Structure 1
Amino acid sequence: MENTFEHDLPNKEGFFGEYGGSFIPPELQAVMDEITQAYLDIREDPDFRSELASLYKHYVGRPSPLFHAKRLSEVYGADIYLKREDLNHTGAHKINHCLGEALLAKKMGKKKLIAETGAGQHGVALATAAALVGMECDIYMGEVDIAKEHPNVVRMKILGANVIAATHGRKTLKEAVDAAFEAYLKDPVTQIYAIGSVVGPHPFPMMVRDFQSIIGNEAKQQFQEMTGRLPDNLVACVGGGSNAMGLFDAFLAEETVAMWGVEPAGRDLTQDGEHAATMTKGQPGVMHGFNSYMLKDDQGEPMEVYSVASGLDYPSVGPQHSYLKDIGRVNYESISDEEAISAFFELSRREGIIPAIESAHAVAYALKLAEQQKGSILVNLSGRGDKDIDFVVEHYGQQYGIEG
C-alpha cells in the first residue's frame, strides 16, 4: 500500500480548493474532530496498515486482476482494459473502505456501524465488515431501492445487519443519507456513520479516498507490467465518486493520462428530476455537511434526481471531484439509461462479464472513446451485476431477447 496515505489535499480543514469542509452542528463537529484525529493517528500505525493489507490480500482477494477485453477491443477499435473490482469479496470496490472504516470504529471503541446504501453494495460491504470485526450494523436504504435491489437486501440481512427503509421523498439514495444522518445525530458517541463514498463532512472524503486509492496503485503497476506503458485514458462512473477517485488518485500527476468521470444522464439530461448529472448540470452548494457541486431546485434545495443505477442517483458529488473539474484535470461526461443498459449487455455477451449497472455507465463511455480512436482505455469495473439481473430482465429483457 505504498503512498496510499500521502496527499497534499485536503488541507487541515478538509477543503479541496473551495470544496469540502465540514458544515455540521457544533456538537457533532466535536465528534467529527475526534474521528479525524483517530484516523490521522491510525493511518500512520504500522500495525493498522499491516492488518488492513492482510485483510485486502487474504479476505478481499486483492490485488484484483487487470483484464484486457480483447473481443471488445477488436470490435470498437481501441485496447480496452478492465480493473476487475467486481471480483472482490462482496462484488464491488466498496469493501476497500468499509474494512478500513470498521477497523477504525473498532479501535475507537464504537459499538455500532451505521450507513446509507443505494444499490446495496456499500450496505453489503459494511455488513460484511461489521460481521468480521464483531459490531452491530444498521443500513438505511430507500424503499424504492429495497424493492429494486432485493438480492443485496437479503445478503445484508443474512450478514446480521438491520435494513431500515427510508420512506420519504423519492425513497432512494439521498433519502437514505438523510435518514442515516438523523440516526447518527441521535447518538454520535457509541456509533459511527461509515459514509459510503468520498462525500460528507471532513474527514470522510479524504478517508474513503485513501482507502480506495489501492485501486489506482494496483492498476498503475499492473498496466505497466502488462503493456510497458501507462494507459491513455481512465474511465470510471461517478455518483458520489469513490470508485473513480480510487482509480484516478495514483495517476493525477501523470499528464499524459486523460481521465473521464461518467455521470448518469438518466432518462433525459434536459429535464430536472430525470437525471443525476451533478457535474454536468449542477452548481456549488452545501449538502449533507460538505460543499461541492450539487443539483438544486428553484429554492436552492437538493433537486430530485433519477438514474437507472441506484448507486448513482445522488444530487451532489465528492468535493475532490469538483476541484478536479474546476482545474481541468478530469473530464466529466454523462451516459443515458439506454446507453448504460446497452453496454451492460455488450460486456456480458462479448466478454462473459455481467457488470453492475453503475459500472455499465463507465463501459458505455469507454466504448464511445474507443470509437473515437483516443488510445488505450482502462475502465474501473467497480461492481458485478448479480444484484441487477432481475431488474434488467424485468424492464429490458424483451428488448434484448430474454423471456422473463
Structure 2
Amino acid sequence: MQKLYILSLGCNKNLVDSEIMLGRLSKYKLTDEPSEAHVLIVNTCGFIESAKKESIHAILSLHQKRKKDSLLVVTGCLMQRYRDKLMKELPEVDLFTGVGDYEKIDELILKRQNLFSPEVYLQSEETQRLITGSNFHTFIKISEGCNQKCSFCAIPSFKGRLKSREISSVVKEVKELVLRGYKDFSFIAQDSSSYLLDKGVKNGLIALIDELEKIKGIRAARILYLYPTSLSEALIQRIIDSKIFVNYFDMPLQHISDKMLKLMKRGSTKSRLKKLLNLMKAAPDSFLRTGFIVGHPFEDEEDFKELCEFVKEFHFDRISVFAYSKEEQTPAFNMQQISPKIIQSRLKILEKIVDESTEKSFKRELGQIRKVFCTGKSSEGEFFIAGKDLRWDRDIDGEILINESLCGTLEMGELYECEILQSLDKKLLARALRKIDD
C-alpha cells in the first residue's frame, strides 16, 4: 500500500477540505513521516502575509525531505490566489490545483494533471470525509465564499461569492456522523450568519438550528465566524433558546472605533456592536470570542486607544489579535499605510491587554461546575487527563487538566461533570465528579 502525507495549513475550513481529500484517497496509508510518503499534499493558506510565508516554507521543506519519485501536490487558497506566479516559481512541485477540485484529487494524482476549476468546491451529500483529530468532535462547513467587502480582506477575490449548502445536505452529513459516534459539532464558514442569503432565505441559521435539533445524539454544537451585519438579534436568541447549541458566540469585530469600522467597510457601528455583544453576554454561561486587527490604514492613536479601552472593559473570554497585512486586491491596499514599526508597537500593547483579559476569563472559572469532554492525553504529560469545556471550540479555547477523578477511569470522548479548582498559566485544573450519561 502506498503512503500519503498531508499537511493542512490555516483555518479549520481548510481542515475540512483536507479531510475530504483524505476521504478520496482512502486507498493510501497515512504516514507522519514525509520521507516515507509516495504522495505529499500541502493544503495552503493565502489569507495574510504570514500565512503565505508559512505555506511556501512548508512546500520547500517537504521537497527537501521527500524521497525520490514521490509526488508533491500543492492545493488550497494560496495556489488559487497566486496560481500563475507560483506555477512558474515552484519547480519543486509536481502537481498544482486550487480550491475547486478537492473531490477530484484522486483523479488528478492518477493522471498527474494540474486543474483549476472555475467554481469553488461546495461539499455535496455524497462526500465522504476522513475525520481527523477527534473521535467525538468535528467541523461542519455550511457555505463557501463571502459577499462582504471588508477593506482588508482578499478572500472574496479567490473564494468568490457566498454559496450555501442546502439544509438537507448539512443535516444528512450530521446524521451520518452521529451514527459514527460524533456528538460535538462546530459549524463554520467564511460568514456563517449569511448562510442561505444567496438563496434568498433570511435567518437561514435559525432554520438550520430547527432541523438540527430534531437529530438525536448531538450533545453540543456551536457556530463560528458570525458577521455583525448579517447577525440578527433573533439568531442570538435562537441560540440561547436552543437545547443543543451552547451559548458560544464567535464574532470577529476587527475594531471598535466608528471611524475605523467605516474605513474597514464593516457595515456596523460601535453602538450596534455593543448591543449585540450585550445580548450575547446576558445569556446563561455565555462564552464570547472575537478578533481585532491593529494598524489598518488611517488608524490613529485615538482609534487605537479606544480599542484598547474597549478590550479592557468588555471582558471577552478569548480574543485573537492580528497585525494588519497589506493584501493585493483589497481596497486598503492603495490606502496610505502605517509604518510596520508603529503596527508592531501597537500589537505588543494590545497583546498584553488581551493576555490580561484572557487570564481574568480563566480565573472567573474557579469554583464552577462545568460539563467537560475528555479529550485524552494532556499537553502536560501523563499525570493529567485533558478536557474541553462543553462550550469551547476544539483546540483554540484552552485546555482543562483533570488530575483527580471521583468516577473512575475517564474515557476519551465521554462527558463529565467537573469542578474547576485552579487556573494556572492559561490552563484550568479540575476534578472529575461524575460521568454524564446520554
Q: Greater helix share, 1 or 2?
A: 1
Q: Greater strand share, 1 or 2?
A: 2
Q: Which has the higher contact order (CA 8 A, sep 6+)?
A: 1
Q: Which structure has the larger Rg?
A: 2
